[in-house]
Structure 1
Amino acid sequence: MPPIDLSIIALSESISQPGNYALILEDKEGKRRIPLVIGPTEAQAIAVAMEKMQPLRPFTHDLITNIMRQTGVRLKEVLISRFENDIFYADIVLLRDNGEAISMDARPSDAIALAVRFDCPLRATPDVVEASGYFVDDRTRDKKGSYAEYTLAELEELLTKIIKKEDYESAARIRDAIDRRRGMG
């Protein structure tokens, strides 16, 4: 089966692992979300590239990008290839000037930081998406009072599940619904 295209939909501080960050990827077709917990250095490298910021001096990922470009190597794609024991593994696929493809093992956070800089495809194997991806429960979307069918206890339980998955957009909507229910909002 062909790899599944992903996009970055969120990068925020991790609640479950303070000091780290949650990077949320989304399957472009099936809309499953894949949460990765990454370190602050990698989060900064990804954020700087996504925001098209120009640091005064190149960061490590910028240096690698510059070296690759100046030596005629480009990044073809990033593939999150495995998910084992709650650890993600990735490969970067490089192309030389002569068209030769080279695949190299990389930490997903580093590979994604490079993918953003090269604006290349970010993909995952179907096995990775199946093992680590989740669908956002349609009832977590705040549409026309859809929370009305939940008890307060059910909302709190749903909030706990969504926070564990580090889907902070949905968590904020659920928290707001709980606050409204309690008369705080």
Structure 2
Amino acid sequence: MLQVRLRGLALDQSNSPVVILEVEKTNKGFGIWIGPFEAEALALAISGKDFPRPLTYDLFVNTVTQLGGVFEKAVIGQVKDNVYYASLHLQDRTGQLYVVDARPSDCLVLAVKKGFPIFVEDSVFKESSIDLSNLQTDALQHGQEEDTEGFKKFVENLDIEELKKHFRSKEDDSETS
């Protein structure tokens, strides 16, 4: 497994939210398209803004915490038909570990809120990774906006069908090797 970090959050050319995850200490990563509500929740989590009343993710965090649970990690473990699957790893007060099926977007929001690590299985990374070295800076990283023109341009011009073709050609190349 490889640890990843949130590299950026933006909209693609069709205004669909995309999260770019980057493997620690590399220029390799991959994009996961998420829903608009999840993107809004992620942006709010990154901003660190608190609300007078708990939002849905806050309710979940508060419930787990009140029950003595601890968030251990999230793992993006599979990709099928361009849909990513993740699991949330929790530990209760007795030390019992629980693995809960979850959407990657939910795991990302919770990881930003609670500061636990996110991992990707090697096989998912091999299938989905792209070179991110052409990206100049992070779009949003822990609430700080930086010079994001390179990243915004990259995401705005990102063609989902081309990305899928890229993944398929990499898969074909690895099968012939």
TM range (shorter): 0.7 to 0.9
Find the partner of 2:6 among 5, 8, 28: 8
Give the TM-score of the pair, scaled to structure 1: 0.71
Q: Quickly say closer, same or farther: Cα 1:162–1:135, change in 2 above 3 A.
A: farther
1:124 equivalent in alignment to 2:120: yes
Residue in structure 2 matched with residue 155 of structure 1 by the alignment: none
1:80 equivalent in alignment to 2:76: yes
Q: Structure 2 matches for 1:53-64, cutoff 5 A?
A: 53-64=49-60
Q: What do residues 30-58 of structure 1 show as CA deviations (whole Å, max 9, x unaligned)?
A: 32121011111111111111111112322
Aligned residues: 143
Higher relative contact order (CA 8 A, sep 6+): 2
1:84 and 1:162 mapped to 2: Cα distance?
24
User: How many Å apart are 1:107 and its aligned residue?
Assistant: 0.7
Higher mean displacement: 102-111 or 40-49? 40-49
1:135 and 1:102 mapped to 2: Cα distance?
34
Return 5+ residue gaps in structure 2 as ranges.
Answer: 137-153, 161-177
Larger Rg: 1
Q: Is the 8 A contact 1:45 1:59 kept in 2?
A: no
Q: Is the 8 A contact 1:11 1:23 kept in 2?
A: yes
Find the partner of 1:35 among 31, 36, 59: 31
Q: Secondary structure at the match of 2:65?
A: helix
User: How many Å apart are 1:13 and its aligned residue?
Assistant: 1.8
1:61 and 1:109 mapped to 2: Cα distance?
11
2:157 and 2:73 mapped to 1: Cα distance?
30
Identity of aligned residues (%): 27
Q: Quickly say closer, same or farther: Cα 1:160–1:42, change in 2 above 3 A.
A: closer
Give the TM-score of the pair, scaled to structure 2: 0.74
Q: What do residues 126-162 of structure 1 show as CA deviations (whole Å, max 9, x unaligned)?
A: 11111111013x5x468xxxxxxxxxxxxxxxx7996
1:119 and 1:49 mapped to 2: Cα distance?
11
> 4+ runs of 1 displaced by more than 3 Å?
159-162
Q: Superposition RMSD on alpha carbons, in Å? A: 2.1
